[in-house]
Structure 1
Amino acid sequence: MRRVLAAALVVTAAGCSTAPAEPAADATTAPEQIAWGPCTDLKRPDGAPPARQDPSVRCGKLSVPLDYAKPDGDKLELALIKLPATDKGKRLGSMVFNFGGPGASGVDTLDQAGKMLATLRTRYDLISFDPRGVERSSGVRCGDSAELEEFTSLDTLPSNEETHRESEQANKQFAALCQQDSGKILPFVGTVNAARDMDRIRAAVGDPKLNYVGMSYGTQLGGVYATLFPRNVGRMVLDAPLDPTVSFEQRTLAQTRGFQQAYESFLRSCVKDGSCAVGKDVATANANVAKLMNDLAAKPLKVGNRQLTQGLASTGVAAALYSELTWPFLEQALGDTLKGRGQALMFLADSYTGRSESGTYSTQMTSFPAITCVDTAERPSEADLRRTEAAALKISPLFGSEGSGGLCRVWPVKGSNEARHVDATGSAPIVVVGGKGDPATPYEWAPRLTSQLKTATLVTYEGEGHGAYLSGSKCIRGLVDSYLLEGKVPGKGATCPAA
């Protein structure tokens, strides 16, 4: 199961919906109201409550149709969070954020990222939400914590007929648990329905236009929104963009290349001053990591009352490659593990899989496949999966896998390609930001999405890491803030150097 939930490592998606494109009811029905109040259940990445909470932060619920084809039928409550504008005299409205996934909690992430967004908060109420199927918004559940622990711990090495059979069996068991625990919501968690939810949020906060920042998967959500509701688009930024047209195989190979390139950049950075804890030079460091992974596949390393498996170790490595800022911690974690101490690498793996210190899991690893699999009609054959895996392993023995297609092949709900073709014709200008060193959403996807959206302008970031706006680049921050706060669209071909 680890082969799908963690080896795919990302941030995918295209949308699906069971409803027609833009129902007239949305335009004529009075918007639902959001009852804002104190936040009572915010969580840090480790699952613990925040040490100190800003009393001005508010949380709320918004009722939306479970099935937009039946607007008067069952309802779903979306969980929201608001950081009110600090300069109310110059307030421009609201700015909605989606930080990625699919499956990440916008409620928790906005609370954690608030200080980094202080400039935007001067003039906007900052708003985010747990999308349908995520955490507080009827989050998809698939078994208990012990079962998720087993799934996320499974190895990717070696790749042979036995592991393929084990993987497919684990996929079937996991899919059955998702159907058992969350079957009612599974057909309705697609990106098109989430985009409809965002228009309900826009209306509920009283904004005539949606101002929006989408990161990673959030770029897919933004592109779908701009396609469904082009006249409602305000100022929109899509950072670390996805190409919704790619197949499972294309996505898996592109992301495998991206993570391998980031890993090689990490190794070069680590050894340049001669004190790298992983090895004296790139070749030695790479060989040490490869041996470590093979050793863990043969015999996991005891960490407290848990086992650091090869699957968890490679997940931990990949998690640290999302940002150049975490490379020093990755060096420490690998160096410690080479000496028999796996706590730091286990911590990195847990940060990716959403495991708290108490052993419970967020819905990150369960919402991710639920949204991914319903967002496409593609269901790869066994031959497709083996071809994809073989090609990915040639690119990277560390990160190569069959990708998300293996789980979607046995998913209990049919998918749709409705949102794989985006076109924002008629919308206000959209700014797309792509990073040359992004491992999870490779740069090649940025110009593709820009072209598909018709009204978009591309900004290129030359640096490392997944996402540019929060990377520390003053150049990117300046261009994006100038657009969001003043409406100045970056010039054609705008490029920013590494931070």
Structure 2
Amino acid sequence: MPNPPRLRATALAATALLLAATLAGCGDDSQDEDLSAQKLNWKDCPAPSRAEGGGDAPSPLPGGAEWQCATLKAPLDWAKPKGDRIDIALIRAKASGAEGKRIGSLVFNFGGPGGSGVTTLPAFGSDHAKLRTRYDLVSFDPRGVGRSAPVECLNDPQLDAYFEQDATPDDAAERATLLDNTKEFNAACEENSKKMLPHVRTTDAARDMDLMRQVLGDDKLYYFGISYGTELGGVYAHLFPKHVGRAVFDAVVDPTQSSEQGSLGQAEGFQLALDNFAEDCTSQPTDCPVGDTAQDVRNRIAKLLADLDRNPLPGIGQRVLTQTAATNGIAQALYSKDFWEYLTEGLEQAYEGDGRVLMLLSDSMNGRSENGEYSNIAAANISINCADDKPRYTAAEVEGKLPAFRAASPLFGDFMAWSMVTCTDWAVAGAADHPDVSATGSAPILVVGNTGDPATPYEGARKMVQALGEGVGVELTYKGQGHGSYDSRNKCVQDAVNGYLLTGKVPAAGTVCS
């Protein structure tokens, strides 16, 4: 996949919608005021910007509650807090319960990195109705994302070509083309977003969250982080352990891994999810339309991808379904068990020469709307990952690692290995080999791991608990499928999470839900 290492998709609701059918910049003037004293001007939300993915303004919640949006001013460079400013876009739904029962604001980050919280929170708003009884539900576009000083790289036609490219080179010519395309992408990011690129690290976003906490009027940060949001939450807890209130990490990133280890773990995770899909399809009372046995399903998918490497299928409009686009589409469907039916349909169609459904899934992964416009999720994802991750890999190094990646996943191994060259020619040096999330003195953080998670493998939850430090992380296991646990609607998981966030009751460490 041409997407960068450790891609974490966020807007699963956008996939279902897709299948069913003024960008903020950097200020130039120095400011002397105390940013923590600023007042937010909440008003009706506009339609999402192009960088957020476009579409309609968010609909009211069941019962008629309206979403409200505001803009937070933050320093461009936290090392120069009185220098240039950027705008951070916020969204909220006010608490539904009695005023005396309100705890504060519950801040969500749904992952990515690069996902727009302003567009994602309304998509899942009704799922958090119980939490809204005592919290204002709040989310935001992190810096570099959506309406928060968005990073810009390639234009829409260029992105169409970029996402169709052969991301698993088989010879020297294909390898040179991949590396040239990567350099072109990275050069476009530097040309169009040079001022922002040094300031989109996770540590910067964590400092934005602490400013947000103060401006929202909370003594502590109440937080719900999903996927990359768990890494952001861990970094926040490290920087501001005494400011952590009740926090939940769901679909947990392993904070001890390098970008290489993270990519290898994702290869294993997506292979596990594919295996689970194949077993589920072939164990049903009715015939599985994409294979007779689980191994047959895997073999047929492997053959499809090999054929696409030579002969792409008709896709949507003038675009064709390439091997890379098909792999992206398969991966996107594996993020949620709810999308397995779309994967089955997409594979059935592809075997008959029609690549449209797999291309729709790939488009959703890449942030492409039906009208051909891209959000900036890919640009932001790459920019944040490359600013965070110190390692830079050469083509020769990747080739040496291919056997290990192929052993982890015959289907996804090559794609995840070659994604490691994404940051090689990046304009900004990476910050560290892995994030520091040690948080001695923090309040308890509930850490929820899903045994069938493809994007953030289950082992990451235990590693996060250990890295947070003794007495901080509390592990809960969900024996399920898909990326994340709370939105699986498993009653055991939701009761544990809701109980902690609403009453402060910490579940017993090692609790298992199935």
Q: Same fold (TM over 0.5)?
A: yes
Assess, with a 3 A threshold, how the Cα gap between structure 1 residues 7 and 447 changes in structure 2: closer, same or farther. closer
Q: How many angstroms apart in 2 are the aligned matches of 1:482 and 1:258?
A: 29
Following superposition, the deviation at residue 33 of structure 1 comes to 2.0
Assess, with a 3 A threshold, how the Cα gap between structure 1 residues 403 and 440 changes in structure 2: closer, same or farther. farther
Mapped pair 1:479 → 2:496? yes
- After superposition, what is the alpha-carbon deviation per residue over 1:271-299, rounded to whole angstroms, capped at 9, x for unaligned? 11242121222222222212211221111
What amino acid is aligned across from residue 284 of structure 1 in structure 2? D
Following superposition, the deviation at residue 184 of structure 1 comes to 0.6
Following superposition, the deviation at residue 461 of structure 1 comes to 0.9
Q: How many angstroms apart in 1 are the aligned matches of 2:262 and 2:169?
A: 22
Select 1:159's aligned residue among 150, 165, 170.
170
Match of 1:463 in 2: 480
Assess, with a 3 A threshold, how the Cα gap between structure 1 residues 409 and 259 changes in structure 2: closer, same or farther. same
Match of 1:16 in 2: none
Q: How many angstroms apart in 2 are the aligned matches of 1:238 and 1:124?
A: 17
Following superposition, the deviation at residue 398 of structure 1 comes to 2.1
Match of 1:48 in 2: 55
Q: Is the 8 Å Cα contact of residues 435 and 442 (structure 1) preserved in structure 2?
A: yes
Q: Is the 8 Å Cα contact of residues 252 and 403 (structure 1) preserved in structure 2?
A: no
Match of 2:287 in 1: 275
Match of 2:296 in 1: 284
Select 1:365's aligned residue among 352, 372, 378.
378
Following superposition, the deviation at residue 51 of structure 1 comes to 7.8
Following superposition, the deviation at residue 340 of structure 1 comes to 1.7
Give the secondary-structure state (helix, strand or coil) at the position aligned to 1:374.
Answer: helix
Select 2:242's aligned residue among 231, 243, 246.
231
Select 2:402's aligned residue among 364, 384, 389.
389
Mapped pair 1:82 → 2:92? yes
Following superposition, the deviation at residue 161 of structure 1 comes to 2.6
Mapped pair 1:132 → 2:143? yes
Assess, with a 3 A threshold, how the Cα gap between structure 1 residues 236 and 8 changes in structure 2: closer, same or farther. closer
Following superposition, the deviation at residue 11 of structure 1 comes to 6.6
Question: TM-score, length-normalised on structure 2?
Answer: 0.90
Mapped pair 1:492 → 2:513? no
Assess, with a 3 A threshold, how the Cα gap between structure 1 residues 231 and 419 changes in structure 2: closer, same or farther. farther
Q: Which stretch shifts more, 130-139 or 291-300?
A: 291-300
Q: How does 1:323-402 map to 2 (within 5 A)?
A: 323-400=336-413, 401=415, 402=417
Match of 1:248 in 2: 259
Q: Is the 8 Å Cα contact of residues 192 and 419 (structure 1) preserved in structure 2?
A: no
- After superposition, what is the alpha-carbon deviation per residue over 1:42-78, rounded to whole angstroms, capped at 9, x for unaligned? 3799742258445621001000000011111110100
Q: How many angstroms apart in 2 are the aligned matches of 1:371 and 1:6?
A: 10
Give the secondary-structure state (helix, strand or coil) at the position aligned to 2:423.
Answer: helix
Q: Is the 8 Å Cα contact of residues 43 and 50 (structure 1) preserved in structure 2?
A: no
Following superposition, the deviation at residue 382 of structure 1 comes to 3.4
Mapped pair 1:33 → 2:44? no
What amino acid is aligned across from residue 316 of structure 1 in structure 2? G
Q: How does 1:62-211 map to 2 (within 5 A)?
A: 62-89=72-99, 90-211=101-222
Match of 2:27 in 1: none
Q: How many angstroms apart in 2 are the aligned matches of 1:9 and 1:228?
A: 24
Select 1:434's aligned residue among 441, 449, 467.
449
Q: How many angstroms apart in 2 are the aligned matches of 1:392 and 1:305?
A: 33
Unaligned runs of 5+ in 2: 11-31
Give the secondary-structure state (helix, strand or coil) at the position aligned to 1:4.
Answer: coil
The number of aligned residues is 482
Q: How many angstroms apart in 1 are the aligned matches of 2:187 and 2:196?
A: 14
**Identity of paired residues, percent?**
44
What amino acid is aligned across from residue 297 of structure 1 in structure 2? D
Following superposition, the deviation at residue 389 of structure 1 comes to 3.1
Q: How many angstroms apart in 2 are the aligned matches of 1:6 and 1:421?
A: 21
Following superposition, the deviation at residue 29 of structure 1 comes to 6.2
Match of 2:269 in 1: 258
Following superposition, the deviation at residue 333 of structure 1 comes to 1.1
What amino acid is aligned across from residue 289 of structure 1 in structure 2? I
Following superposition, the deviation at residue 308 of structure 1 comes to 1.1
Q: How many angstroms apart in 2 are the aligned matches of 1:88 and 1:61?
A: 26
Q: Which stretch shifts more, 102-111 or 392-401?
A: 392-401
Q: Is the 8 Å Cα contact of residues 99 and 216 (structure 1) preserved in structure 2?
A: yes
Q: How many angstroms apart in 1 are the aligned matches of 2:475 and 2:113?
A: 23
Following superposition, the deviation at residue 30 of structure 1 comes to 4.1
Q: Is the 8 Å Cα contact of residues 47 and 355 (structure 1) preserved in structure 2?
A: no
What amino acid is aligned across from residue 300 of structure 1 in structure 2? P
Following superposition, the deviation at residue 160 of structure 1 comes to 3.0
Q: Is the 8 Å Cα contact of residues 6 and 152 (structure 1) preserved in structure 2?
A: no
Q: How many angstroms apart in 2 are the aligned matches of 1:450 and 1:111?
A: 30
Q: How many angstroms apart in 1 are the aligned matches of 2:371 and 2:456?
A: 31
Following superposition, the deviation at residue 244 of structure 1 comes to 2.1
Q: Is the 8 Å Cα contact of residues 5 and 259 (structure 2) preserved in structure 1?
A: no
Q: Which stretch shifts more, 343-352 or 210-219?
A: 343-352
- Runs of 4+ in structure 1 deviating by more than 6 angstroms, as ranges, are 43-46
Q: Which stretch shifts more, 130-139 or 86-95?
A: 86-95
Select 1:5's aligned residue among 3, 11, 20.
3
Following superposition, the deviation at residue 419 of structure 1 comes to 6.5
Select 1:449's aligned residue among 464, 468, 491.
464
Q: Is the 8 Å Cα contact of residues 313 and 353 (structure 2) preserved in structure 1?
A: yes
Mapped pair 1:408 → 2:419? no
Following superposition, the deviation at residue 232 of structure 1 comes to 0.7
What amino acid is aligned across from residue 482 of structure 1 in structure 2? G
Question: TM-score, length-normalised on structure 1?
Answer: 0.92
Give the secondary-structure state (helix, strand or coil) at the position aligned to 1:413.
Answer: coil
Assess, with a 3 A threshold, how the Cα gap between structure 1 residues 107 and 403 changes in structure 2: closer, same or farther. farther
Match of 2:23 in 1: none
Q: Which stretch shifts more, 170-179 or 84-93?
A: 84-93
Q: How many angstroms apart in 1 are the aligned matches of 2:345 and 2:441?
A: 50
What amino acid is aligned across from residue 206 of structure 1 in structure 2? G
What amino acid is aligned across from residue 8 of structure 2 in structure 1? V
Q: How many angstroms apart in 1 are the aligned matches of 2:487 and 2:35?
A: 37
Q: How many angstroms apart in 2 are the aligned matches of 1:40 and 1:356?
A: 18
